[in-house]
Each structure stands twice: as structure tokens, then as C-alpha cells.
Chains A and B, each alone.
Chain A
Amino acid sequence: MNISAANMDFKQLNEQIKTAVGNVCISHCCGQRFIGRGFKDKTITIHGTPGNALGAYLDGATIEVRGNTQDAVGDTMNNGKIIVHGNAGDALGYAMRGGSIFVRDDAGYRTGIHMKQYQDRKPVIVVGGKVGSFLGEYLAGGLIVVLGIGTEDTPVGNFTGTGMHGGRIFIRTNKELTGLPAQVTAEIAGPEEMSEILPLLSEFCSLFGVAADDLIKDSYYVLKPNAKNPYQQLYTAN
């Protein structure tokens, strides 16, 4: 079903998406928030720019955006998939627990903060370009991959992985990663670790028409929590 979002407020639009039978294609999307919130089983294609909190609490549905997105995409997402043919704003995938988010270009600050995994739920964020500072802060589980396509610089900002206590962050760069916090160890990913992200790379490439060979042969840093220096304050019972 096609819905034109022109001059429609978010409540109206979400109501229409909810009652629509089958898959939904939204045109003229212009900043409407909360699209697809909590949906379990639809495919929503969006032309234009959806507003903040796209796919919040998403629970199995698929959202594909032909354009850029704003902040808080996939907030507390539980399951499903979000594909962005463009850039994503700040706080992408905050506290995500499952499902995957693919962003063709760049993502903003605070990407993948406090993602966590549980049993078969393992959230994934793949960003094609670069991300802002505070990537994967408090990361408790899941996978974040930053490909840095189209940038010569390190594709992450400052304070990557501060407070990280689980999960993995992969960063494709041949520059040295500096300024990482004590809770994180960074090393060049070996074949075994690369095998963890190869399916994601090929999915990324097929989604966005990127040549997979170039991406696969490059060198990736893998960031893990430093078990010797866990993120916890030393307490003394009083």
C-alpha cells in the first residue's frame, strides 16, 4: 500500500501504517517521527526523510529508507532490520538488543550506545562511511562495524568504546587508532574474527551495490572490552 506523507503529522501517518494491509511504501516523508515503532511484521519503504526515533522498539519488521534519517534510529530495537540508503543522525541504535541496521553512508555521534545481546539476539550495526564521537559507549553486547568508505581519515571520532563491557567493534582503517579508553583493547582482526563479520559485509555490499572484494581484503581493527580492566568502580562495603 502506498501512503503519501505530505502534510501529515506523525500520529496520523503511524495510524495509517498500522492499519495498512501488507507492505507499506511511504512517499514524501518529511520528518515524521516514530515511524514503524514496535512493528513486528511489515516491510516499510520510505522515500524522503523520516524523523527521529525511526523504528523505535522495532520487533521484527523491516524498514528501508531511500534517503537520510534523523536521530535515534532503532532506539531500543528488539528485532528486525533497518536499511538506510544515505546518512543516519545521532544516537543510532541506542540500547538495541536485536536485529540489524545498515547505513550506506555516515552516522552521527553516539552510535550504538549500550547495545546488548542475549542468547540468539545479537544486534548489529554496519555503517558504510564514518561515525562521530562516542561510538559504542557502554557497549554491552552485539557488533558494530564501521567501514570508513570514502574517508582517508580514521572513520571514528573521540571516546570510542568508553565504558565498553561486552560486544565487538570493527573499524576498517589503515590509520592507527589512538586515544582509546583503558576499558578497550584494539588489535588487527584475525581470520577467525573476520569470519564473524564477513556475512555482514556481503549483506552490506549486496544491499548498496558495493564491491565486496575491496572491503574484505582490507585490514580491520577489532575492539574488545579489556577483561583485565573491567568497567566497574572498586567498591568497599560500608
Chain B
Amino acid sequence: MAINFLYPDYEVVRDFERCMVCRVCERQCANGAHAFLPEANKMACDDAKCVNCHRCVSLCPTRALKIVKSDHTYKENANWSGKTIKELYRQAGSGGVLLSSMGNPENYPVYFDKILLNASQVTNPSIDPLREPMETKVFLGAKPQQIQRDPKGRIVNNLAPHLTLSMPVMFSAMSYGSISYNAHESLARAAEQLGILYNTGEGGLHEDFYRFGNNTIVQVASGRFGVHPDYLNSGAAIEIKMGQGAKPGIGGHLPGTKIVGDVSRTRMIPEGGDAISPAPHHDIYSIEDLRQLVFSLKEVTNYQKPVIVKIAAVHNVSAIASGIARSGADIIAIDGFRGGTGAAPTRIRDHVGIPIELALASVDKRLRDEGIRDNVSLVVGGSIRSSADIVKAIALGADAVYIATAALLALGCHLCRSCHTGKCNWGIATQVPELVKRLNPQVGSKRLVNLLTAWRHEIKEMMGGMGINSIESLRGNRLMLRGVGLTEKELKILGIKYAGE
């Protein structure tokens, strides 16, 4: 074996006292980390193949396994970290661009963790969600500027098409191809049960899932995979993907190895061919061009569906959002730099884009300053990790949030960040039939429903504590927020006061 200077990050630790050589670990590991040694009648493992996904650990009947971080180390160096050295070795060995999965794991500030929520004391009574009605329903879409009446004085319904969500959360775009059939089914079923929406991503919509149309957002991206009139009309809304938080400014590339069977059929491209999504839409070079796509989509769906334009949070996000709000789009989705991905160049994922908290606050302010905030709803993602993040995002001006990593975690994802290998042991980010069937959509959808039901209750508790009984009254309500450990500049951009002020 050629020396590659790469040493395992993790060690598979087996308690041979407990191991009864049932070989479950061997069968469960698609990476081939475990092997049976017949002569010795014991199990062996190759740490280098372990991605630390915990599949073997969770299925080991005698709890004989654990995965630990290797304490094998390079000589300590505050500048040249072990990670940096390893990445350099990888590239020197392969000449390749570093490819990673899931969201940016680097140590950048998480502004949600530096924002605290208010609660009522004495003067303004809090509300108990167990005994008082609390409204978490939201409507997404353009809001009419004024009430219109017909000659007889009756109110004319001038509402633009909108989405109704039971709570301000949607599952964000993950394509069929990047995730499995069973993962899609879990999301679709959960969305239906919860009264929210999931998003097809740009892989088209599998024919089995057209029945979830009222809870589906269909996506149109630069590759236009699987896009045709029936697809556009099958969902409740259409999302134009201009960018993604994990890889702003670059396109996508689903390798031919993942374009198999149903994925090929759903994307409407031949099996085994690469699916390349160009970095830009080659027919959109301006807001005017975007407007053309927005209206062509509205035309082909008879103005029945709200159109979402999704962008990555980048430096000039507020100016870009201002343009989008004038393009005829009904909803702007902004994806922060921590957003997840099935595969992105490491350097792009970890170094491009800005935090969603700052992007959201500045977009909301810009749109309000320009008097066009009601033209659009704002949906933010990347990354929303808990109900507290949701409440803070709404108080910073969002109408709703997108979650994806959190949803995958609910399905059993262990954030091993190896989606790009296509060998997800949890049946999520894979197309290998034996792996896909490990995820039971009935169990998966139940876990998603559980998660969001719990979050919904927590949202009500937090709102009640603030004396607010409707999520609409929380939107943009920055007085409910205070910062800790933030600079004047950060507070100014977020539009919030410091704790104690």
C-alpha cells in the first residue's frame, strides 16, 4: 500500500468480553470497517474505514462497541492544525478538490446563541398555553397593500396565492437522489400530518409522491431536472433555487453512480449520466430575467401558486432581496452559511457566505425601510437547530424557517458528514436498496411529527412567557431579544439591544 500519510480519525473500540461475534456490526457497516476473522473466531476492524456514524454501536446487542476520537496526534501546532495538515495530504495525494457533506462545522460565531429571549414579569402577565389559545399558524405570500371593495361595499378578495402552515416551519429542499426514497416519503408524510410543507429539491418529484401535492414545494433549479408542466402544477408552491447556503455561487454535480433506477426516471435523465446543475441559471443574469422566470412559472400554473426564490446569504443579501421582492416573487428563502448539503467543496462550504442571523436582520430591515416588506414573506434556514432558534429567527423578522439537518437528525442521521460517499448506513443519503430499506418511512415520519410537535409546544411556551399569543405578533418583534457578548456593530445589524439595556 502506498503511503498516504493519512491516519484514522476515530478508533473502533471493542470490548471483547462483551462481543459474542454475532457479526451484526459487519453486516451493518457499508463502509466495511468490521470484519470476521474465522481462525481466531473474533471480530477485527479497520479504523480507517470508520466514518463515525454509530450504526454498529447502536445495533450491537451487547453494547460491546464504542467509537472514540483517536488521540494519535501530530506535533502540537496552533497554526498548522491536524485537520489542515490532513487536508493538505489528501490533496497532495489526489490532486482533487476537497469534498464535504452537511453544514459548515467550523468554529464561527453562532449568533442565535448570543441572543436571549424576554419573558413577562409582574406588569404584563405571561400566558399559559395549556389554558389559553395560542396561534402558531402562519400564511406565506404577498400581503395586499389595501382593502378593496366592490361597488356594493363588499370586500373583494385580493389575496395573492399563499401557503398556510400550522407552525412556522418547513422541510427545506433535499433532492431525491441526494436522499433516499424512504427519506422523501418520511418527510412528505410528516409534512402532511403536521400541516406544513416539504420541498422536492431539484431532483423532480417521484410519481408516488404526487399525492402529497398540497404539502409539497416543487423546486426549479438551474439544471431544470424533472421540470415539466405537470410537475409544476402538482405542488402547493414553486421554488426557484438561485443559491444554497452550503455552496453559494456554485452549482451541483450529482455523480452518475447515484443516477440509477427511479432517480433517473424522476430526474428524467439517463442512468449513469452525470447530473450537472450549472452555477447560474443561464437565462437569469438580472432581476428582470428573474422576473421573467417567476412570471413564466406563474403563467404555467395559472397564478395559483406562490413562487419562492431561494438565495444563499451572501454579502449583499439585502440589496439582492430588495430586487427579488420587486420581481413578482411571493416568498424569499434565505439560506445561511451553515446550511447543509449532500456534497460541496469543503473550501466553499466553510468559507463562503454569511450567518443567517445577520442576513435575516439586514434583509428584514432593508425591505421595511423600502416599504416593500409586505410584498414577500421571508423564510430562513441554515441552520435552525431548535425551537429557540425558530423563536429568535421570527423575532428577527422571519415569517417561517426551513429545517433540513434537524429533520435528518430526527430520521437517524448522526452527522458523520459522509453523504457524498452514497453509503449512508442510516438509509438516508444513499440509493443502495439494502441501505435505503433501513429507514422505515412510518417510523421516520413519526419521529419528524414528534420533533415538530414538541417544538410547537416549546414555541407556545416561549411566546406565552413573553405575553404573546400569536406568532404574527412575534414577527420582527426585536424588543423581545437582547444580545450577550456582541459588539455594537453586531447589535446594530441585528437591530437588538444589549442585555440589561
Contacts and interface: CB of A to CB of B under 8 A. Distances in A.
The answer to whether A and B interact is yes
Contacts of A121: 268
B8 interface: no
A33 B224 contact: no
A137 interface: yes
Contacts of A234: 94-97
A52 B292 contact: yes
Interface string B206-226: 000000000000000011110
A26 B389 CA distance: 54
A222 to B, nearest CB: 19
Contact of B276 (A40, A52, A231, A235): A231
Interface string A71-86: 1100110100000000
A233 B253 CA distance: 9
B276 A238 contact: no
Contacts of A117: 269-270
A118 B269 contact: yes
Contact of B274 (A57, A59, A137, A165): A165
Contacts of A233: 96-97, 253
A235 B170 CA distance: 32
Contacts of B90: 236, 238
Interface stretch (B139-147, B295-303, B438-446, B461-469): B295-303
Nearest to B100: A238
Interface string B225-236: 101111010000
Interface string B137-158: 0000000000000000000000
Contact of A236 (B98, B222, B228, B230): B98
Nearest to B221: A95
Contact of B296 (A57, A78, A166, A236): A57
B301 to A, nearest CB: 8
B97 A113 contact: no
A166 B96 CA distance: 24
A230 B299 contact: no
Interface residues of A, number: 46
A220 B421 CA distance: 42
B346 interface: yes
A72 B87 CA distance: 43
A198 to B, nearest CB: 24
Contacts, number: 133
A104 interface: no
B398 to A, nearest CB: 31
A130 interface: no
A140 B299 contact: no
A172 interface: no
Q: SS class of chain B's interface: helix, strand, loop or mixed?
A: mixed
B39 interface: no
Given A56-B300, A230-B274, A237 B87 contact: no
A95 B224 contact: yes
B61 interface: no
Given A57-B228, A75-B283, A91-B282, A232 B273 contact: no
Given A97-B228, A121-B268, A163-B278, A235 B300 contact: no
A71 B228 CA distance: 20
Given A53-B296, A237-B420, A238-B98, A72 B283 contact: yes
A40 B233 CA distance: 14
A14 B189 CA distance: 36
A148 interface: no
Given A38-B300, A237-B421, A140 B292 contact: no
A141 interface: yes
B270 A141 contact: yes
A53 B299 CA distance: 11
A95 B223 contact: yes
Interface in B66-96: 87, 90-91, 93-96
Contacts of B230: 59
Interface in A50-103: 52-53, 56-57, 59, 71-72, 75-76, 78, 91, 94-95, 97
Contacts of B418: 237
A166 to B, nearest CB: 6
Nearest to A138: B278
Interface string A132-147: 0010011011000000
A40 B229 CA distance: 9
Interface string A208-238: 0000000000000000000000111111111
B229 A238 contact: no
Contacts of A40: 229
A168 interface: no
B99 interface: yes
Contact of B282 (A78, A137, A237): A137
B296 A56 contact: yes
Contacts of B421: 237
B295 A165 contact: no
A14 B300 CA distance: 10
A57 B94 contact: no
Interface string A18-59: 000000000000000110011010000000000011001101
Contacts of A116: 225, 268-269
B270 A118 contact: yes
Contact of A118 (B222, B268, B300, B345): B268
A53 B269 contact: no
Contacts of B273: 140-141, 165-166
A195 B14 CA distance: 65
Contacts of A236: 90-91, 93-99
Given A116-B268, A118-B269, A163-B276, 15 more contacts: A11-B299, A57-B300, A71-B283, A72-B283, A94-B283, A97-B224, A114-B222, A114-B282, A118-B264, A140-B273, A165-B273, A232-B274, A235-B98, A236-B99, A237-B420
20 contacts: A38-B299, A56-B296, A71-B283, A75-B283, A95-B223, A97-B268, A113-B278, A114-B222, A114-B282, A137-B278, A138-B282, A165-B273, A166-B270, A231-B274, A232-B274, A233-B96, A235-B96, A238-B90, A238-B99, A238-B346
8 closest A-B pairs by beta carbon, nearest first, are: A236-B96, A95-B224, A38-B229, A38-B300, A236-B94, A235-B99, A238-B98, A118-B268
Interface of A: 10-11, 14, 33-34, 37-38, 40, 52-53, 56-57, 59, 71-72, 75-76, 78, 91, 94-95, 97, 110, 113-114, 116-118, 121, 134, 137-138, 140-141, 163, 165-166, 230-238
